[in-house]
Amino acid sequence: MKSVTVWVDGNTSVEVIEPKDSRAVHLTVDGKLIRTTPGKSLLEAVWNRPGIGNIPALCYHPIVQSYGACRLCTVEVEEQGRTRFVASCLYPAKEGLVVRTDTDRVRQLRKGVLELLLARCPEVKVIQDLAIEYGIEKPRFALGVQDCILCGLCVRTCRENIGRSAISLVNRGIFREVAAPFYAYELGDGCVGCGDCVYVCPTGALKLGPDGKPVLPKVHIPRPAAEGLLR
């Protein structure tokens, strides 16, 4: 057996006595040694540890499998002398891994992602707040006024938790959007009206309609961009 001092949160550390056959995974996050269970991602390892790690994430929710859509959760990892940047919601926590979540380079990468999100969704408060935190006053370009960031959380919770596929992501590029089967904007009998998709939506793009079923967001393409693509 061995004794290990690990951090529970940003202010509290405890001494843990582990048996030799322990399967616990130990990694260092911003200088603090933490202990987690095998199979968890880096984001999951710090998700419920206030004060350890600075990892924003819009496309992650613990009730569905990670998808890695927004890339805001990018962190820097050092493993076997090699340093690289990874999406923490997809990268597994490994024994001895060194993770840095708030370096200048990490913040610069997140800032680029946030600028794109703010250009697409300039009126969404959660994105506005993150933009302020990362020093973005105004994006250099405009991608329209949307409220859906195409994170896919609504699609995944419908499929994984409810066992339905009442909605899905369709099309590509700036025309990508959430739609019902047969490209309908109104949900049919495939939707049971559970409201789970509304609950997990990080931007409020999905709202319940008067019939108890979600009202799907519609893509608003900037006219010059649409005309250029349709020529």
How do residues 46-81 score in pLDDT, each as one tens digit? 999 999 999 999 999 999 999 899 999 999 999 988
Q: Crossing angle, helix 125-133 and helix 104-120, to 10 degrees?
A: 150
What stretches of the chain adopt beta strand conformation (E)?
2-7, 13-18, 25-29, 32-36, 74-79, 82-87, 98-100, 168-170, 177-179, 207-208, 214-215
What residue type is assigned to position 2 of the chain? K
Q: What is the pLDDT of residue 230?
A: 44
Average pLDDT (202-219) is 89
Report whether 10 contacts 49 (CB < 8 A): yes
Closest C-alpha to 48, from 39, 35, 65: 35
pLDDT over 80 at 227, yes or no: no
For the chain, domain boundaries: 2-102, 153-230
Q: Tell me the helix, strand and coil percentages in the chain, rounded to 5.
A: 25, 20, 55
Closest C-alpha to 199, from 144, 145, 146, 162: 162
Tell me the pairing of strands 25-29 and 98-100: parallel
Whole-angstrom distance, CA of residue 193 vs CA of residue 213: 5
Whole-angstrom distance, CA of residue 22 vs CA of residue 126: 40
Q: Which CATH architecture has domain 153-230?
A: 2-Layer Sandwich (3.30)
pTM for the model: 0.88
Q: What angle do CA 156, 196, 209 make, to 5 degrees?
A: 120
pLDDT level of residue 221 (50, 70, 90 thresholds): low
Report whether 100 contacts 115 (CB < 8 A): no
pLDDT level of residue 229 (50, 70, 90 thresholds): very low
Average pLDDT, the chain: 90
What is the CATH topology of the domain spanning 2-102?
Answer: Ubiquitin-like (UB roll) (3.10.20)
pLDDT level of residue 206 (50, 70, 90 thresholds): very high
Average pLDDT (124-137) is 95
Whole-angstrom distance, CA of residue 26 vs CA of residue 6: 8
What confidence tens digit (pLDDT) does each residue in 168-198 have? 998 888 788 998 888 777 888 889 999 999 9
The first and second tokens of residue 147, run together, are 């409220």
